Amino acid sequence: RKEVEQDPGPFNVPEGATVAFNCTYSNSASQSFFWYRQDCRKEPKLLMSVYSSGNEDGRFTAQLNRASQYISLLIRDSKLSDSATYLCVVNILFSGAGSYQLTFGKGTKLSVIP
C-alpha cells in the first residue's frame, strides 16, 4: 500500500466551479500535512499547511481527519490560473535528521476550462 494516495485525475472543471481533492495516508504516525502545487515543468511549491481544525486561505480550504487518515483540499470559484497538479504531502516523524523528510503523493491534475 502506498504511503500517500491521491486520485490522479485529471479533473477538468469550468471556471467558477468548486472542486475537491482527496488524499489518504497509511502511516498513523504522520505528524504534519501539506498541499503543494506544481505547475507543468516547474518545481513544487507549498500551497498550504493542513491543520487538525481545518484551515482556509482565500478560495482554498484544507481539512484533516486523523481518525480516517484523510486529507482534503477544496477550491472554490476556480480560476484558469488554478490549473496545475496538486500534491498531497505528509511528514512522518522520524528521530534525528530524518524528521524533516516529506512523503509526496503522486499528485492530482486539475485543468480549469474557460
Partner 1 sequence: DAGITQSPRYKITETGRQVTLMCHQTWSHSYMFWYRQDLGHGLRLIYYSAAADITDKGEVPDGYVVSRSKTENFPLTLESATRSQTSVYFCASTTGALEQYFGPGTRLTVT
Place of cell 507549498: 46
Closest distance of CB 91 from partner 1, Å: 5
* DSSP-derived secondary structure letter, 94: -
- Considering only 11-19, 20-28, 67-75, 89-97, which stretch makes contact with partner 1 by CB under 8 A? 89-97
Work out which of 20, 42, 54, 70 binds partner 1, going by CB under 8 A: 42
Q: Is 24 in the site for partner 1 (CB under 8 A)?
A: no
Q: Is 107 in the site for partner 1 (CB under 8 A)?
A: yes
Q: Is 109 in the site for partner 1 (CB under 8 A)?
A: no
CA angle centred on 27, ends 21 and 28, rounded to 5°? 95
Please tell me the count of residues contacting partner 1 according to CB under 8 A.
Answer: 21
* Nearest of 85, 98, 101 to residue 47 by alpha carbon: 85
Q: Is 27 in the site for partner 1 (CB under 8 A)?
A: no
Q: Is 95 in the site for partner 1 (CB under 8 A)?
A: no
Q: Where are the beta strands (DSSP E) in 1-114?
A: 4-6, 11-14, 19-25, 30-38, 44-50, 55-57, 60-65, 70-75, 84-92, 102-104, 108-113
Place of cell 528521530: 95
Residues in the site for partner 1, rule: CB under 8 A? Answer: 32, 34, 41-46, 49, 87, 91, 96-98, 100-102, 104-107
